[in-house]
Amino acid sequence: MGKQRILLRLAVLLFATGLLFGMQVLVVGASDATASAALSEEIASESRARVIDAESIFSGITDGAYYNHPVTVTVNEAYADTFTVNGTATRLDANNRFVLDGADGAYTLAAADAAGNSTAVTVTLDKTAPAIKSSSKLKEGGVYCLTLTGTFDEANMDRILVNGTKMALGSNGNGFTMTSGSMNKPIFGALEIVVYDKAGNTLTVHVTLNAEHTYAETERVEPTCLVRGHIRSRCTVCEIATKYEDLGYGAHAYGEPVFTWSDDGKRATATFTCATDNSHTQTVDATVTDTVKTPATCTEDGVTTYTATVMLDGEEFTATKEVADIPAVGHTYGAPAFTWSDDGKRATATFTCATDNSHTQTVEATVTDTVKTPATCTEVGVTTYTATVTFDGKTYTATKDITDIAALGHTYKEGKCVNCGQADPRYVADIPKTGAEVGALWQTLLLVLVGIGSMRTAMQARRRKAF
């Protein structure tokens, strides 16, 4: 390796002193790539050391520049005798021009005049635009949360702009991170990322950065009185961020209670049983109210509806029980209505309930009679009939007057009525008579009797004719 370095140095010296006119310099490749590169740089350095102004020798190219396209280089004619590219002698065209084109990389162009004065420029061809590293999570149209990181395949990185804001590059110079607490403060919303390399190649990526995660449940365990519940969530955007929410233990799963009533319906309790664990129960005293469902009648008991109400965990529960506990009111009978036969000798008493007039009872009465107004010789007398009934321990009576005592008629004796004393209009007082008067009286009586007999015979004769 030492001999090679000596030979290279000797070639440079010979080239510099003009001893090798018309010969192209051939750089012998070192077996060690690192050593060859180092010697090339040394040669270039020594060549530049002799040049006062490279711009007076090369035109169309700038030392240290980066190009993303072929570059046409023109070499000052005085220095066109020897021209090398990366140490390899290269021909110029008739106008002393050379088109630098090839693979991406650094190129050192050296030129020397006949006197051995030389100069060199080093430029970089980079025709490849920056690209997103395959390991990077950044992608066109991607959506991210809170933090945005991008890394790129670009050896000649120049700058990265996000919505026009220049990002501070990471330590390796080929990416950026935008997050809270970093040099690059987050910009939320729709973003345009433009990556520039030194040659002017660009890469544009459009993404969205959300100001918060968008979580969706991945697991839910409902809390019960026995199991502690929780919710696990994962961000649907970044698919990295997770969240755990502890729901603690749940309440008992009490459903409808079972009501237990006293016989009279005036007291009740409600027992709740947990559906998760039936050994968990709660018994609550109910508030009981009552309403009349069916009023009592004369003969039927009424019905009361009892309503039991309890509250548990803010929810109201009710149940009802019906009890026939309103005693029948019984009939309320007042004075009866009596119904009489026309002659007053029979009667019935009808009792009507004041509560329900469809309820009646009719009782046969015991009828007695008394003379209210006795009959006279000429006037009919009046009988008072009294009807008597006994009902529910009470005695009721009614009376009816009937004019049913026939007039007595006069009973005359010795010229006057023995009852009322009225004079007998037909009465003739007894007068002593003579024998002649008595004979005449009997004659008159005999004539009358004969006349009556004749009239009777005549009437019987007529009847026979008629038949």
Q: What is the CATH number of the domain that holds 167?
A: 2.60.40.10
Asked if residue 282 and residue 237 are part of one domain, the reply reads no
CA distance 206 to 126: 24
In the numeric block, which tokens belong to residue 202?
């660009």
Whats the size of the chain, residue-wise? 467
Q: Give the model's pLDDT for residue 466.
A: 54
Q: Give the model's pLDDT for residue 240.
A: 87
Asked if residue 244 and residue 141 are part of one domain, the reply reads no
Among the listed residues 89, 87, 83, the one whose alpha carbon sits nearest the alpha carbon of residue 112: 83
Q: Give the model's pLDDT for residue 424.
A: 81
DSSP labels for 47-112?
A: HHHT-S-GGGTEES--TT-EESS-EEEEE-GGGBSEEEETTEE----TTSEEEE--SSEEEEEEEE
- Quick: pLDDT tens for 183-219: 899 999 999 999 999 999 999 999 999 999 999 999 9
Q: Give the model's pLDDT for residue 47.
A: 44
182 falls within a domain:
yes
When divided into structural domains, the chain yields a total of 5
Asked if residue 49 and residue 137 are part of one domain, the reply reads no
What number of CA atoms fall less than 13 Å from residue 193's CA on the CB side? 30
Asked if residue 290 and residue 348 are part of one domain, the reply reads no
465 falls within a domain:
no
Asked if residue 162 and residue 101 are part of one domain, the reply reads no
439 falls within a domain:
no
235 falls within a domain:
yes
Q: Give the model's pLDDT for residue 438.
A: 58
pTM reported for the whole predicted model: 0.47
CA distance 178 to 147: 6
453 falls within a domain:
no
Per-residue pLDDT of the chain (467 residues; tens, 9 = 90+): 333 333 444 444 434 433 333 333 323 333 344 544 554 555 454 444 444 367 789 999 999 999 999 999 999 988 888 999 999 999 999 999 999 999 999 999 999 988 888 899 999 999 999 999 999 999 999 999 999 999 999 999 999 999 999 999 988 889 999 998 888 999 999 999 999 999 999 999 999 999 999 999 999 999 988 899 999 999 998 888 999 999 998 888 888 999 999 999 999 999 999 998 899 999 999 999 999 999 999 989 999 999 999 999 899 999 999 999 999 988 889 899 999 999 989 999 999 998 888 889 999 999 999 999 998 998 898 999 999 999 989 999 999 999 989 888 888 888 889 888 888 888 877 655 566 665 766 676 677 677 676 677 766 666 665 54
Asked if residue 345 and residue 282 are part of one domain, the reply reads no
- One-letter amino acid of 86: N
Paired sense of beta strands 148-153 and 165-166, if any: unpaired
Q: Give the model's pLDDT for residue 164.
A: 95
Residue 220: partners with Cβ closer than 8 Å, 6 or more residues away: 229, 230, 231, 232
Asked if residue 187 and residue 121 are part of one domain, the reply reads no
Q: Give the model's pLDDT for residue 53.
A: 64
Asked if residue 143 and residue 119 are part of one domain, the reply reads no
Q: Give the model's pLDDT for residue 427.
A: 82
Asked if residue 322 and residue 224 are part of one domain, the reply reads no
Q: Give the model's pLDDT for residue 191.
A: 96
What number of CA atoms fall less than 13 Å from residue 420's CA on the CB side? 14
339 falls within a domain:
yes
Q: Give the model's pLDDT for residue 8.
A: 41
Asked if residue 313 and residue 380 are part of one domain, the reply reads no
Asked if residue 339 and residue 242 are part of one domain, the reply reads no
448 falls within a domain:
no
Asked if residue 99 and residue 19 are part of one domain, the reply reads yes
440 falls within a domain:
no
List strands edge to edge, sheet with 157-162: 143-145, 202-210, 189-197, 157-162, 165-166
Q: Give the model's pLDDT for residue 2.
A: 37
| Residue where a domain terminates, one of 76, 103, 125 | 125
- Quick: pLDDT tens for 342-379: 998 999 999 999 888 888 999 999 999 999 999 899 88
Domain containing 310 equals 258-326
Q: Give the model's pLDDT for residue 24.
A: 32
Per the listing, tokens 């107004």 go with: 373
Please answer whether residues 138 and 167 qualify as being in contact, where contact means their C-beta atoms are separated by less than 8 angstroms: no
